[in-house]
Amino acid sequence: MWLKAAWALLRKDALIELRRRESLFSMAAFGVLSLLIYNFALPLDGDSAKEMAPGLLWVTVTFTAVLSLGKAFAGEKQNDAVDALVASPAPLPAIFLGKLAANLLFIGIIEILLIPLFLAFFPVATGFSWGWLALTLGLGTFGMATLGTLFSAMTVTLRSRELIFPLLLLPLMVPIIIAASHALSALIEQDMGAVSTWVQLLGIADTIFFVASLWVFEFLVED
């Protein structure tokens, strides 16, 4: 029941995106543009690139994700579809799960697009393990998407939604940005001890945010 409902919601959101092609294209364009602008604005050669690349990648991913995360529930506002969702027999945490899965899918697609470009633009050593790269990116993205989905549900009914959403998300995901970007820079420097410290912190943060979100989500959609 749970998984079925979440899967139905994910499928619906993916289908809408597939037909409208709205979020993904603007996200991709924004992400690529940011990468280009960093290259124009910052002295990115040799060592400085190596030091700045992880942070810049996470800034790009975060700001690109904010574009789509904030809209996760906006589509459900039309014709009061949120009420129908909440009234449906699907358990509320399953609705959260479905929305989270859709967000993860969109951000994941953008990351898969941005990473090769990023490695092409920034002269960073590529001797690191791709499995660890996927793990740090995945854990960081999961935490960001969890908080993003929660605050998207919170802000969908508010005035100046576009303004308050990043204001809510960014300060609360400060630890995720710190841990994810430093995990990445430790990975580039092949300092596996530091990588595992940051990965553990990301895992703990993700678990706390995920469990808490599943619990409090119902209070955001109950009316």
Partner 1 sequence: MSALPLRAGPWEKGMGILALVMLAAGSFWGLALAPHDAYQGSVSRILYVHVPSAWITFLAFFVIFVASIQFLRTRNLKYDTVAHAAALSGIVFNGLCLATGSIWGKFAWGTWWTWDARLTTVAVLFLIYAVYLILRSLIDDETRRARFAAVLGIIGFLDVPIIHFSVYWWRTLHQPASLLRPDSPRMAPEIMYPLLFMTVAFIVLFVHLVIAGRRMYEAERSLEIRRQEQVYEV
Chain residues binding partner 1 by CB under 8 A are 147, 150, 154, 157-160, 164, 167-168, 171-172, 174-176, 178-179, 182, 194, 197-198, 201, 204-205, 208-209, 212-213, 216, 219-220, 222-223
Q: How far is the CB of 207 from partner 1 (least distance, A)?
A: 10
| Helical spans, DSSP H, in the chain | 2-20, 23-41, 47-69, 81-87, 92-121, 130-155, 161-172, 174-188, 192-220
Give the DSSP per-residue string, 105-123.
HHHHHHHHHHHHHHHHHS-
Q: How far is the CB of 10 from partner 1 (least distance, A)?
A: 23
Whether the Cβ atoms of residue 22 and residue 63 lie closer than 8 Å to each other: no
135 vs 178 by CB, closer to partner 1: 178
> 220 vs 21, 65, 143, CA distance in Å?
28, 21, 19
26 vs 157 by CB, closer to partner 1: 157
**Which amino acid is located at 201 in the chain?**
L
Burial 6-41 (b: 16+ CB within 10 A, else e): beebbeebeeebeeeeebbeebbebbbebbeebeee
26 vs 196 by CB, closer to partner 1: 196
Q: How far is the CB of 199 from partner 1 (least distance, A)?
A: 12
Q: How far is the CB of 151 from partner 1 (least distance, A)?
A: 8
Q: How far is the CB of 56 from partner 1 (least distance, A)?
A: 17
Q: How far apart are CA 98 and CA 85, in angstroms?
A: 11
133 vs 194 by CB, closer to partner 1: 194
Q: DSSP assignment, residue 221?
A: S
88 vs 197 by CB, closer to partner 1: 197
Residues ≥6 apart with Cβ < 8 Å to 193: none
105 vs 170 by CB, closer to partner 1: 170
Q: How far is the CB of 222 from partner 1 (least distance, A)?
A: 7
